[in-house]
Amino acid sequence: MLDYGIRIWSDDDFKIEKGKIVVNYGKKPAIIDIVKDIRDEGYKGPLLIRFPHLIKEQIDLLFKAFKKSMKEYGYQGGFNALFPLKVNQFPNFVIPLMEMTKGIPYGLEAGSKPELIIAMAYNNPGSPIMVNGFKDKEMISLGFIAAKMGHDITLTIEGLNELETILTVAKEMGKPYPKIGLRIRLHSSGIGIWAKSGGINSKFGLTSSELIEAMNMLKNSNMLEYFTMIHFHIGSQISEISPLKKALREAGNIHAELYKMGAHNLKSIDLGGGLAVEYAQHDGLSQRHYTLEEYASDVVFLLKTIAHNKHVPDPDIYLEAGRFVAAKHAVLVAPVLELFSQEYDQRELQLKPKNPPLIDELYELYNLMNEKNAIEYLHDSLDHMESLLTLFDLGYIDLLDRSNTEILVHLIIKKAVDLLKHKKYDEILNIQNMIQEKYLLNCSFFQSLPDYWGLGQTFPVTPLDRLNEKPTRSASLWDITCDSDGEIAFDIRKPLFLHDVDINKEEYFLGFFLVGAYQEILGMQHNLFTHPTEFSVVFDDEGNYEITNLLEAQNILDILDDLDYDIKDIERKLKQYIEESDYISDDKRKDVLGRLYLYLSENAYLKTIVSYKDE
Ligand code: PLP
C-alpha cells in the first residue's frame, strides 16, 4: 500500500485510517466524509478546507521551541512573533488567527497600505505590528495614526528617504511616534527558489554606511530613542540552516555595534520569515533539512553568544514565519471529473470482418497477453500504434481503424497494468512512464496552486479514500483551464500513482495539502476560475467537528462585475437576445430565460460532465 508520503509531510496532522485520510484531531473525521456532507448541500466543484486548529498548533510549536531554547541558554531577551499578511490575507484565516493569539505577543506584519489597515483593525491590543516594504508619506502617516490608536507599531525603513519622510511626518503629526526599525542589507542570502530577499544585491535594506548615516539622522533629530529594531529576511522556505546562521552572525554583530554607537533602545532583532515547510512526499527529496528545535536553538545560541562577547543586552527576538504558520491549515479538494482512457471501452470496439493486419495483431496481443509476456506485448502494441497512426496519416487506413487502434492499445495498457500490479513500482516505472493515465480535475492550478505553475513547487497530493487499495495508474493531472500549462505531469523522479476508477459509477477526490501559504492570494483568475468555495472545520470540546465560515465561490455575474463589466447591461442584452430570437418559440422563452438566470447565479467551476449522474 502506498502512503503518499504522509509520514514525511503531515507531522501526524493527517493520518490514513481504514483507507481514508482522516484529520488527526477530535474524533478524527475523514476528509472525504466532510467533503460529502458539503457536496450534499449542493457545493460542487473544488473546495478549500481550512483547519484552524493547525494554525494554533504551529504557533504553539514556535513559542514552545523558542521558550525552551531561551531557558536552556539563560537568554534574557523576549520572544515575539508576527504573521506576515502577504502569506494569507483572507478574513477566514486572519480573524481566527487573531482570536486564537489573544494574550500572547503575536501580531501582524504588513507590507502595503491595505495590509496595514487589516493590521490596524484586527491586531490584538498590545501585540506588535510591523510595517515592512516600500512606503510613501501616506503609508508612514498611517503608521503614525496606528501609534496614536495605541498600537505597538514599528515602521521598518528600507531606505534613507523613508527615514527622512518619517522625520518630516513626526514634525507634522507629533507624538506618540511609531517605533523605528532599520532593515539591514546582509551579505548572506538564503538558498532555494525564494532566496532573492537577502544578499548584497537584494532589493531591500540599508548598507553599513547607510546605517551609520541613519543613526546620525536620528541623533540630529532627537529621535534616536525611537530606533528599537533591526530587521532582515534572507528569503522564504530556507531549506538549509547554514545561511540563517551566517545571517544571524552578521545581524547580531550589527545590532551590537549600533547599540554601542549609542542606540540604547535598539533592543530587538526581527529575523523575518523563511522557516521552511516539508512539502516532499517522496523519500530522498526532502525540502527542509533542519528541525524547528534546531532552528530555535541556533538563533538563540548565536544571538546570545554575540551579545555576550560584545557586552550588550540579549536582544528581543521577533520572528515573521509565515509559511510555517499558514501552509498546513488549508487543503484543496479537487473532484476527479474524468479519466481520459475511460472512453476507450471494449464495447466501443468495432472490428471489421477484414481489418488491417496490424489491427488483427493488436487484437491478438490483447487476447494472448499474460503476466510473463505483458511488458513485451505492451512494447509491441505501442510500436504497432505508431505504425497504424502513420498509415492513417498516409491515407491507408480509415477513421474506424484508427479508433479500433486507440481502443485496443488502451485495453492492452489496462490489461498490462492489471497483470503487473503486484510488482514493485520501481520495477515497472519505465513502463508506467510510457502509459500514463490523465486525470481531469475540477479545479484550476493557476488559481489554487500558482506556485506550481510559476515555480514548479509541488504540493503533497493524495486520493482521499481507497488508500487500502494499491493504486495502479501512473497519473498526470489536468485542470479544467483551457491551457496546457494546467497540468501536473507524471514525473518519474517523484511518481504519482492513482486508482483506476470508473467516474461514471463512483466519485474520486484528490486532496492537495499544505496550500494555506501564498497560494490563495497569488492565485490568478485564468479563464475566470476564481477562489474555490471555502469553509473552516472547527472542533468542539467533545471532538465533534462543525463547519463554519462557508463562502461559496463567486458567481458568474460577480466575477464579471469584478472585471468592471456593467452586469445590468449584460443581463439586459442577454434578455433581449432571448426575447427577440427567432429560434425560440414563445412558450419556451420563459423557460430559457429561467435557465440562463440560474446559470448566471452559479460559480464558474464544472457541475456536470459527460454522463456522471450526481454532479
Ligand atoms: N517577512 C518578510 C519581510 C518577507 O518578505 C517574507 C516573505 O518572503 C516573510 C516574512 C515570510 O516568509 P515565510 O513565509 O517564508 O516565513
Three-state SS across 85-108?
HHHCCCHHHHHHHHHHCCCCCEEE
C-alpha to C-alpha distance for 445 and 486, rounded to whole angstroms: 6
- How far apart are the C-alpha atoms of 28 and 522, rounded to whole Å? 31
Between the two ends of the chain, the Cα-to-Cα distance in Å is: 30
Write the pLDDT tens digit of every residue in 373-431. 999 999 999 999 999 999 999 999 999 999 999 999 999 998 998 898 888 877 788 88
Residue with cell 490514513: 16
Active-site residue flag, 443: no
Which CATH number applies to 556-600?
A: 1.10.287
For residue 482, report the distance from its CA to the centre of ligand 1, in Å: 33
Give ligand 1 pocket residues (Cβ under 6 A).
Answer: 84, 87, 109, 132, 197, 233, 236-237, 272-275, 320-324, 517
pLDDT of residue 532: 98
Centre of ligand 1 to C-alpha 466, Å, is 37
User: Has residue 515 got a pLDDT over 70?
Assistant: yes
Instruction: Report whether pLDDT(340) > 70.
Output: yes
Enter the DSSP assignment of 554: P
Res 91 pLDDT > 60: yes
Question: How many Å apart are CA 547 and CA 567, to the nearest integer?
Answer: 32
Q: What is the mean pLDDT of residues 129-140?
A: 97
- Nearest atom, ligand 1, residue 132 CA: 3
CA distance 535 to 513: 15
Task: Please give the pLDDT value at position 613.
Answer: 42
| Cell numbers standing for residue 568 | 445590468
Bridge partners, 497 (sequence order): 474
| Ligand 1 center from residue 518 Cα (angstroms) | 10
The predicted pLDDT at position 191 comes to: 61
In tens, the pLDDT along 311-331 reads 999 999 999 999 999 999 999
pLDDT of residue 615: 40
Ligand 1 geometric centre to CA of 473 (Å): 38
**Domain boundaries in the chain?**
69-321, 344-431, 556-600
CA distances from 242 to 159, 288, 368 (A): 28, 12, 59
* pLDDT tens, position by position, 221-259: 999 999 999 999 999 999 999 999 999 999 999 999 999
Q: What pLDDT shows up at residue 345?
A: 82
Catalytic residue among 394, 399, 482, 598: 482
Spatial contact of 405 and 388, defined as CB atoms under 8 Å apart: yes
Quick one: pLDDT at residue 195?
Answer: 60
Taking residues 129-147, report their average pLDDT: 97
What's the pLDDT score for residue 429?
82
Angle at 90 between CA 50 and CA 479, to 5 degrees: 65
| All three cell numbers of 197 | 530577499
Phi, psi of 461 (to 5 degrees): -130, 135
Q: How far apart are CA 136 and CA 159, in angstroms?
A: 11
Which residue lies with its CA nearest to atom 1 of ligand 1?
A: 272
* Span 536-555, pLDDT tens digits: 999 999 999 999 999 999 99
Q: Which CATH architecture has domain 69-321?
A: Alpha-Beta Barrel (3.20)
Atom 7 of ligand 1 has which residue's CA nearest to it?
236
Q: Is residue 612 scored above 60 in pLDDT?
A: no
> Residue 564 pLDDT more than 80?
yes
Which of the four pLDDT bands, split at 50, 70 and 90, describes residue 341? confident
The rounded distance, in Å, linking the Cα atoms of 562 and 552 is 16
Lowest mean pLDDT among 71-85, 337-351, 369-383: 337-351
**Domain covering 344-431 in this structure, CATH number:** 1.20.58.930
Percentage, residues of the chain above pLDDT 70? 96
